[in-house]
Structure 1
């Protein structure tokens, strides 16, 4: 799903009326294709101009900036740079987390790929960039041009908000749009490719005096097969065991995969992507509700699909989106759904989507004679799920370990499960095969061996810290390590307890503080343990320690962040504003890193 906004290009009134009429008749992808087509025509004409005009101007300086939380925006940005390079265009690629913001005043053309985190926030590593750009010190950018590709999730009320903020702010600072902003849903591949093609053709058309040279055939290297999101490796499951005690109120599993023969490598802090399939029971219920047959065949994007297989392996069939809501409102003619689609009902629409799966909408607003191709066209492609790696390749070569807590809850009186976590818990056994790939996370990395680290996590958020300790143990790292871990009950939920005790004994882990929220009359969490150890935490930070947070984004992350600021206020004897600056400097120096979900 992609949307754009009109910047008002300089056209004659007659030309503008033609553009408006055509735009009203085209969909987003058609408009993107057309922009690329027109750019191609312009390039052909300008190539003629170059032959006639030897004084044609050269290309402007080009920078690609990306802001990412999980790595998707980084992946797209790298693909954009590769596409530009193939057309002979040189560009600089920068992560917003590392970009020197003072360079903004010198930029000419900016291509920005940015994701939105949670309810409209920028990615955590990009916060410093946003604060500078939206602050009073931001420079005027009257000579600059920009284009933005925004990644988001349309089930959230503030869809692609980070990209929208940048788009508006750059305009306010005087920069001119190279093209319309494009807002992408989680199935961003096609829209991102169309945006990339259009931008590449546009810039190539302008680079009239820049010659391109094809590389000699002899210099082309044969690249070995690379396993990634689009070409996952079939990994065999080695183990899948419960790691909570009998009587636990939670369900947490330790899962191991073999990566032997894949050539895949990873670092502590990275994630494993799993290409999961939908629960057969959920698929069956959905097909029954549609009054269709699993064996029904239909055409979709020039392919013949089987309905049962398509709903099992290709499409998201649980989470409803505005796109699906629009489709079902048209089909059902339900007034309640039409009301939710109005622009001023964004909050209500978001709440409805979070409390209704697709099957709930089908049951509540029934429709007869649903065409399978129309139905799947309203669904999003099934997306891989990411899990923080709980292992270090240095300790367990050719293996990838995960700590998985199945997502389970009741909705409308029916038990529901997470797509991948439910599959791993209920249907996966040793020797099962899963398509997997590595998702790099450069914003959650160990420092050099002699630097102290403070690790804060709850539940499965402890996974990357197991990888950290394995890595430091193998390397013989001398830096101090301190773990704050929280769960419900000491007796049943102390994940990897024996391993932590071993690391404490051999000195790999120097300190460990735990909080088990259900063991006492009052609930205690990791932030309470942090307050108790405030003096020592601040002393470690003053020594140069790196601090990490992994776990729940809704509660753990903001509570720990607030506690950290309070600790700096108290122990640093400074005011709240100065404490926030202190913590912000930790973030900009990559000494405060988060992996939250």
Structure 2
């Protein structure tokens, strides 16, 4: 920022003098007022909304998050509640004092579920507490829970549901039913916040109308899934050889003048277009007119456009099948839904056309559209450091292509970018914060980074950031892919980092270059003694990539290393690993 934009010492003194006596809710109002001025809306906020009246009721807002979404929602709710005139505090569950639970009058919890019913690490202690014998009775507590999850999983919001049941069992009174949300959570979260603030206004009548109007001053996040930024593609380069089985691209995207900021470890969300050939197949199967106007989210749009960029058609989940079964009364789907193994196998790779083809039944086009989910953004780990690449963001993307039932399939976003998007085109994007995958605050701490394929992307961001910050901590990268000559992503960059001393060690595993396959977990075990020494010296251990196989195998190998090199039992090794997670020294970005 240039000097002409900085305030001088006299102005700073005046500002400090002004704000030192302001209350928390007044500061929130000032924040909104200044935002209005910056956006050219000086008259958008009337100073008359400042209320001298403040509610005597205290409100606690708690969040349990894996990526940071729950925290964002909690902060939004906190701002709104303060603006209403309440005394409110906000805390992550890992910092919450369990003994305070019985004192709470109004408690609002926003918590995510990771994978198949797993609570985020920071929520584990309170989760165990409220389900244990020492949990207190809560007859004076009113509460509401917002549960985030991913409907790809059967138990997609289980953590929030479990908290809600536990609070009820302990005698607390729910002022709203537990609200569940899929990955497209923004609209649901906004509606939940509106309901919460509405309930607070009715429950605590001393909050005046003039105070309530202050909530309009709270600024909202500018770009998200519901309101993406259309960013220009600056570069798109294939970084595997043309004869490689893997089709991987490095893509650079402009953020110039967008005001968008990100941190190393974050992801980028991209709203894709579904493959046109799949859209055509579905419309032909439905025997409908692609130009017929349909209504999606209260907006009129052609059937073709609805299937191309509004609804999810490349992947299915249990909820879609259940809705489809209800309409068609197909008995075979009911059998499928009752067999978890067969259901999992079917959902892996099946799309909306498969559903129509494999389980025929009487269903209109509009009914079929009603079974489909909204098209969700695809998330990609950012592969650029923000300081090294100002006003740019880079991603590393592998094109998803496969054949199932003698029909070629393409990923919605990956094939869209690799096949259709060119330099100069614009992509609808937003930044997806990932607070569970961050560089350590102490830049002297060592890093052990494990990634296979495109899972190496965030480590490019990490090392670029460490270079810019002149960090002294050591770094060790374990990278795996199929073939050295074809698939060594960012090879020259890793070599430069080694030469500069930003990266101290690089171990690679190319699975197809020898008869016996070798993976990153094998390289870890080969270096087990030194890996354990790094952990004992405070290293942060990162895993990025496939959740089902690679990440699971790496953690198994890490447990073996801890047990063998530490000379401890398997139970003690589990405790060691759990401690690493609690200390945020074992961090995963898996998919």
Shorter-chain-normalised TM-score: which range? Answer: 0.7 to 0.9
Work out whether residues 57 and 86 of structure 2, in 8 Å CA contact, stay in contact via their aligned partners in 1: no
- Map 1:52-131 onto structure 2 (within 5 A): 60-101=57-98, 103-131=100-128
Match of 2:435 in 1: 442
Q: Deviations over 1:192-231 (max 9, x none)?
A: 34433333222322223455754999x9989799333332
Match of 1:455 among 449, 459, 464: 449
User: How far apart are the structure 1 equivalents of 2:473 and 2:210?
Assistant: 50
- Map 1:491-530 onto structure 2 (within 5 A): 491-530=485-524
User: How far apart are the structure 2 equivalents of 1:84 and 1:224?
Assistant: 14
User: How far apart are the structure 1 equivalents of 2:389 and 2:57?
Assistant: 48
**Superposition CA RMSD, Å:** 2.9
Work out whether residues 276 and 313 of structure 1, in 8 Å CA contact, stay in contact via their aligned partners in 2: yes
Match of 1:289 among 279, 282, 285: 285
2:175 is the alignment partner of 1:182: no
- Map 1:365-514 onto structure 2 (within 5 A): 365-367=359-361, 370-372=364-366, 374-447=367-440, 448-514=442-508
2:535 is the alignment partner of 1:538: no
Match of 2:167 in 1: 170
User: How far apart are the structure 1 equivalents of 2:96 and 2:490?
Assistant: 38
Q: Cα gap change, 1:142/1:579 in structure 2, threshold over 3 Å: closer, same or farther? A: farther
Q: Cα gap change, 1:429/1:317 in structure 2, threshold over 3 Å: closer, same or farther? A: same
2:333 is the alignment partner of 1:337: yes
Match of 1:198 among 195, 198, 201: 195
Paired residue secondary structure (1:329): helix
Higher mean displacement: 332-341 or 470-479:
332-341
In structure 2, runs of 5+ residues without a counterpart are 1-53
User: How far apart are the structure 2 equivalents of 1:290 and 1:148?
Assistant: 40
Match of 1:261 among 252, 257, 262: 257
Deviation at 1:105, TM superposition (A): 4.7
Work out whether residues 224 and 430 of structure 2, in 8 Å CA contact, stay in contact via their aligned partners in 1: yes
Match of 1:279 in 2: 275
Work out whether residues 385 and 464 of structure 2, in 8 Å CA contact, stay in contact via their aligned partners in 1: yes
Match of 1:561 in 2: 555
User: How far apart are the structure 1 equivalents of 2:152 and 2:270?
Assistant: 22
User: How far apart are the structure 2 equivalents of 1:291 and 1:405?
Assistant: 34
Deviation at 1:235, TM superposition (A): 0.9
Work out whether residues 390 and 467 of structure 1, in 8 Å CA contact, stay in contact via their aligned partners in 2: yes
Match of 2:149 in 1: 152
User: How far apart are the structure 2 equivalents of 1:238 and 1:310?
Assistant: 29
Equivalenced residues, count: 537
Deviation at 1:571, TM superposition (A): 2.3
Match of 2:357 in 1: 363
Q: Cα gap change, 1:301/1:418 in structure 2, threshold over 3 Å: closer, same or farther? A: closer
Q: Cα gap change, 1:103/1:462 in structure 2, threshold over 3 Å: closer, same or farther? A: farther
Work out whether residues 59 and 207 of structure 1, in 8 Å CA contact, stay in contact via their aligned partners in 2: no
Work out whether residues 61 and 74 of structure 2, in 8 Å CA contact, stay in contact via their aligned partners in 1: yes
Q: Cα gap change, 1:550/1:128 in structure 2, threshold over 3 Å: closer, same or farther? A: farther
User: How far apart are the structure 1 equivalents of 2:345 and 2:86?
Assistant: 45
Match of 1:588 among 567, 578, 582: 582
Deviation at 1:563, TM superposition (A): 2.2
Higher mean displacement: 463-472 or 579-588:
579-588
Q: Deviations over 1:359-407 (max 9, x none)?
A: 11112334567243x3323222111111111001211111111111122
Q: Deviations over 1:17-55 (max 9, x none)?
A: xxxxxxxxxxxxxxxxxxxxxxxxxxxxxxxxxxxxxxx
User: How far apart are the structure 1 equivalents of 2:281 and 2:121?
Assistant: 39
Q: Cα gap change, 1:436/1:299 in structure 2, threshold over 3 Å: closer, same or farther? A: closer
User: How far apart are the structure 2 equivalents of 1:208 and 1:282?
Assistant: 55
Paired residue secondary structure (1:454): strand
User: How far apart are the structure 1 equivalents of 2:110 and 2:212?
Assistant: 29
User: How far apart are the structure 2 equivalents of 1:275 and 1:496?
Assistant: 26
Work out whether residues 157 and 350 of structure 1, in 8 Å CA contact, stay in contact via their aligned partners in 2: no
Paired residue secondary structure (2:463): helix
Q: Cα gap change, 1:340/1:589 in structure 2, threshold over 3 Å: closer, same or farther? A: same
Higher mean displacement: 427-436 or 182-191:
182-191
Deviation at 1:502, TM superposition (A): 0.8
- Map 1:292-307 onto structure 2 (within 5 A): 292-307=288-303
Q: Cα gap change, 1:505/1:442 in structure 2, threshold over 3 Å: closer, same or farther? A: same
Match of 1:232 among 224, 228, 231: 228
Higher mean displacement: 560-569 or 285-294:
560-569
In structure 1, runs of 5+ residues without a counterpart are 1-56
User: How far apart are the structure 2 equivalents of 1:139 and 1:571?
Assistant: 42
Deviation at 1:483, TM superposition (A): 0.9
- With normalisation by structure 2, the TM-score equals 0.83
Q: Deviations over 1:514-554 (max 9, x none)?
A: 12222223222222222222222222222222221111111
User: How far apart are the structure 2 equivalents of 1:572 and 1:383?
Assistant: 44
User: How far apart are the structure 2 equivalents of 1:131 and 1:514?
Assistant: 40
Paired residue secondary structure (2:543): strand
